[in-house]
C-alpha cells in the first residue's frame, strides 16, 4: 500500500498559544454571555486542557453563542457544521475536485478541504451542531479523530491535528424526531456540559438586549413597561412545564413576542400593551415553537390564549382603568367588561 506523508498545518492558521484561558478571558466573556459564568468556567477549563466538549441542552439556551464568544475572545479559529443526515463523511472531511483530478491527478492541491480538514490543519475549534442527527458513518469519523488525533484520507494521506484542535458538539436531548442515540464512545471522549434554561431575571436581560439590537426605541418601550417584559418572559417559561405541551419555547419566543408587539403598536397606532397587540404577538411568536402532547384536547392557539390571559391580558389600558376605578360612567368598581381583543378565539 502506498504511504502518503502527513499534510503540514495550514500556514497562518490560528496560534493556540494566543488563547489565554485565564480569569481575564472569563471577565471579557461575562460581558458577552449573560448568566453563564459557571458554564463558561467549565468550557474554558476543558479547552485549556485540550479536551473535546459536548454541550447538551434544549434549543435557545445559547450553546453556539457561548462557544463563538469563547473562540473569539481566546483568538481561536472556528469551523461550524450543522448536524443532519446530509452531512456525509465526504462533506465533513472534504473531497477531490473531479475536474482537476482529470488533469492533475490525486494531488493535495486539488483536494477541497471540508470543515474537519480545515479545523485539523489550522488548530481550530470544530463545532458540530445537533451531533445526534449525524449518520453513523460520519459519527465514526469523528470518534476516530478524537481518539487518534489524526485523520487518514484515501489518496491524500494523513492529516494530523494541529495544536489547538478540539471538537465541540451540541445536542438537544429532548428532541427525538430525526435523531439517533449517541453511543457511549462519544461520551467517553468528551467532557459533557449541561446547558439548561436560565432564571427569569437573566432571560429578561437577554430579551431586553436582543430586542434593543433590532430596534432602539423598543428598549425604551420595554423600560417604560417592565410588566410587559416580565409577562412575556412568564408566558414563555410557562410553556416549558405545561402538562399539555411536549416541548415549550426558548427565550427566542420572548424576544420575537416583544419585537412583533412593538411593530404592531406602531402600525395600529395604539399602546404596546393593548390587548389585541399582546395577544396577536403571543400567538404569532409562540404558536410555531410549542409542541402539544399527543391527544391534546385543544389547539396551540387556545392554549396560548389561556397563558396570555394569565400573564399579559391585565396590562391592557382598559384593564388598568378598571383596576384604578376609573370608568366612563363614574362608578368605581362597576366599569364595563373589556371587549374581546382582535384575533381572540370566540368564546361560547
Place of cell 415553537: 289
pLDDT in tens, 284-294: 999 999 999 98
pLDDT in tens, 240-286: 999 999 989 999 999 999 999 999 999 999 999 999 999 999 999 99
> Residue 126, Cα to own-chain centre: how many angstroms?
17
What is the distance between the alpha carbons of residues 286 and 235, in angstroms, rounded to a whole number?
Answer: 9
For residue 94, the cross-strand partners are 113
Angle between helical axes of 37-48 and 63-74 (0-180°, round to 10): 50
**CA nearest neighbour of 170 among 304, 58, 4, 86:** 58
Q: CB neighbours of 87 closer than 8 A, spacing ≥ 6? A: 81, 134, 135, 138
Q: Which helix (H) or strand (E) holds 78?
A: strand 78-82
Tell me the range of 103-112, 180-189, 304-313 where mean pLDDT is highest: 304-313
Question: Checking DSSP bridges between strand 125-129 and strand 166-171, what pairing results, if any?
Answer: parallel
pLDDT (average), residues 121-142? 92
Q: Provide the b/e sequence for 278-313 (b: ≥16 CB within 10 Å).
A: bbbbbbbbbeebbbbeeeeeeebbebbbebbeebbb
pLDDT at 9: 45
What is the distance between the alpha carbons of residues 193 and 202, in angstroms, rounded to a whole number?
Answer: 19
Q: Provide the percentage of residues in the chain whose pLDDT is more than 90.
A: 55
For residue 159, the cross-strand partners are 151
Model pTM score? 0.77
pLDDT (average), residues 113-128? 94
pLDDT in tens, 18-40: 457 888 899 999 888 988 999 99
Instruction: Report yes or no: 200 and 311 within 8 Å, Cβ to Cβ.
Output: no
> Does residue 15 or residue 281 have the better pLDDT?
281
Q: Is the dihedral of CA 183, 185, 188, 190 positive or negative?
A: negative
pLDDT band at 10 (very low <50, low <70, confident <90, very high): very low
pLDDT at 319: 66
pLDDT at 212: 80
pLDDT in tens, 62-99: 898 899 999 999 888 999 999 888 999 999 999 998 98
pLDDT at 5: 44
> Residue 243, Cα to own-chain centre: how many angstroms?
24
pLDDT band at 3 (very low <50, low <70, confident <90, very high): very low
| Whether residue 337 has pLDDT greater than 80 | no
| Whether residue 198 has pLDDT greater than 60 | yes
Instruction: Report yes or no: 19 and 76 within 8 Å, Cβ to Cβ.
Output: yes
What is the distance between the alpha carbons of residues 55 and 40, in angstroms, rounded to a whole number?
Answer: 11
Amino acid at each position: 500500500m502506498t504511504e502518503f506523508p502527513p499534510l503540514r498545518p495550514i500556514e497562518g492558521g490560528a496560534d493556540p498559544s494566543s488563547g489565554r484561558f485565564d480569569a481575564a478571558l472569563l471577565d471579557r466573556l461575562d460581558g458577552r454571555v449573560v448568566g453563564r459564568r459557571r458554564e463558561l468556567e467549565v468550557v474554558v477549563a476543558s479547552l485549556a486542557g485540550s479536551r473535546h466538549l459536548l454541550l447538551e441542552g434544549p434549543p435557545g439556551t445559547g450553546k453556539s453563542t457561548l462557544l463563538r464568544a469563547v473562540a473569539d475572545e481566546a483568538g481561536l479559529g472556528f469551523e461550524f457544521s450543522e448536524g443532519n443526515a446530509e452531512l456525509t463523511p465526504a462533506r465533513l472531511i472534504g473531497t477531490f475536485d473531479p475536474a482537476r483530478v482529470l488533469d492533475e491527478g490525486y494531488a493535495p492541491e486539488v483536494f477541497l478541504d471540508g470543515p474537519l480538514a480545515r479545523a485539523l490543519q489550522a488548530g481550530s475549534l470544530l463545532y458540530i451542531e445537533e451531533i445526534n442527527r449525524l449518520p453513523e458513518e460520519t459519527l465514526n469519523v469523528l470518534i476516530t479523530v478524537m481518539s487518534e488525533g489524526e485523520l487518514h484520507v484515501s489518496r491524500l494521506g494523513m492529516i494530523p491535528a494541529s495544536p489547538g484542535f478540539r471538537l465541540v458538539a451540541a445536542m438537544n436531548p429532548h428532541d427525538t424526531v430525526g435523531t439517533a442515540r449517541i453511543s457511549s464512545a462519544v461520551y467517553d471522549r468528551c467532557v459533557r456540559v449541561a446547558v439548561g434554561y436560565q432564571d427569569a431575571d437573566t432571560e429578561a436581560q437577554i430579551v431586553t438586549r436582543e430586542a434593543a439590537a433590532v430596534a432602539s426605541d423598543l428598549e425604551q418601550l420595554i423600560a417604560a413597561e417592565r410588566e410587559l417584559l416580565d409577562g412575556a418572559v412568564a408566558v414563555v417559561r410557562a410553556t416549558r412545564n405545561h402538562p399539555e405541551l411536549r416541548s415549550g419555547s426558548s427565550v427566542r419566543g420572548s424576544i420575537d413576542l416583544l419585537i412583533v408587539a412593538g411593530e404592531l403598536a406602531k402600525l395600529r397606532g395604539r399602546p404596546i400593551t393593548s390587548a389585541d397587540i399582546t395577544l396577536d404577538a403571543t400567538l404569532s411568536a409562540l404558536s410555531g415553537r410549542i409542541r402539544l402532547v399527543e391527544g391534546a384536547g385543544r389547539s396551540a392557539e387556545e392554549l396560548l390564549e389561556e397563558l396570555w390571559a394569565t400573564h399579559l391580558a391585565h396590562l391592557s389600558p382598559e384593564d388598568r382603568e378598571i383596576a384604578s376605578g376609573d370608568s366612563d360612567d363614574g362608578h368605581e368598581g362597576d366599569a364595563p367588561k373589556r371587549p374581546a381583543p382582535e384575533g381572540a378565539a370566540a368564546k361560547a
